[in-house]
Structure 1
Amino acid sequence: MDVSERLTFFAALYKVHENPDAGMWMLYLTIIMLCVIVYKLGFAKKLPLGKSILIYLFLILGCTILTFLGVFLPIAEGLVVAALILIIYKIRLRQHKKQEMDAS
């Protein structure tokens, strides 16, 4: 069985099997970007600067493990779905609040 058949979409897109160095870095940066988006949309609260830096540091460290798993498991794809769901939720929430303000 060929390894390239088992790669996830993003791992195959970045050609991790042909150029592992550049492919893994691109996958790593993609997973970091998607994790930050999901964190900001779903979980972020106003925190002091020091605590925010600590949160993002641990987020980036956790993304290292997710990158290795993301070669054969759909980690980045799941983050894309989570980001889309949270974007839709935020849009609907904003529309609902706007309607409430218009009604009162």
Structure 2
Amino acid sequence: MTGSFSFVLDYILDNYGTDNIFWTMYFINLILSAIAYKLGFARKLSVGKNIFVYFMLVLGNYITTIFSIMKLPMTESLVVICIVLIIYRTRLHMQRKAKNAS
């Protein structure tokens, strides 16, 4: 064990090498960040504001990817955030459905 908590990065390095590692991690982090934003924080916005929010997400993801490459568990944290938000949204949906049924 190398003391690294970045299981996703280690998996990609072991199986696919270092070719395009930054862009691979960038797009993984971008997808997970967009899912987390959509599940937890997104509100009804106008198209222009929505474009601005996702543009800032694309820019801010650059820093997250740098931390991921430095073997910090950024991608793993995004996975956990997405799982928790999916569970929360599912339970909220089931509670609203049960409330409307009764």
TM-score for the superposition, normalised by structure 1: 0.87
Taking a change above 3 Å as real, the CA distance of residues 60 and 31 of structure 1, as seen in their structure-2 partners, is same
Cα distance between partner residues in 2 of 1:80 and 1:87: 11
Cα distance between partner residues in 2 of 1:48 and 1:36: 17
Name the amino acid aligned to 1:29.
F
Counting only pairs closer than 5 Å after superposition, residues 2-21 of structure 1 correspond to structure 2 as: 5=2, 6=4, 8-15=6-13, 18-19=17-18, 21=19
Q: How many residues align?
A: 98
Cα distance between partner residues in 2 of 1:44 and 1:54: 13
1:33 to 31, 45, 63: 31
1:51 to 49, 52, 56: 49
2:85 match: 86
Deviation at residue 43 of structure 1 after TM alignment: 0.1
Deviation at residue 7 of structure 1 after TM alignment: 6.6
TM-score for the superposition, normalised by structure 2: 0.89
Name the amino acid aligned to 1:37.
I
Runs ≥4 residues deviating over 2 A: none
1:23 aligns to 2:21 (yes or no): yes
Q: CA RMSD in A?
A: 1.7
Between the two structures, name the one with larger relative contact order (CA 8 Å, sep ≥ 6): 2
Taking a change above 3 Å as real, the CA distance of residues 90 and 7 of structure 1, as seen in their structure-2 partners, is closer
Identity %: 37
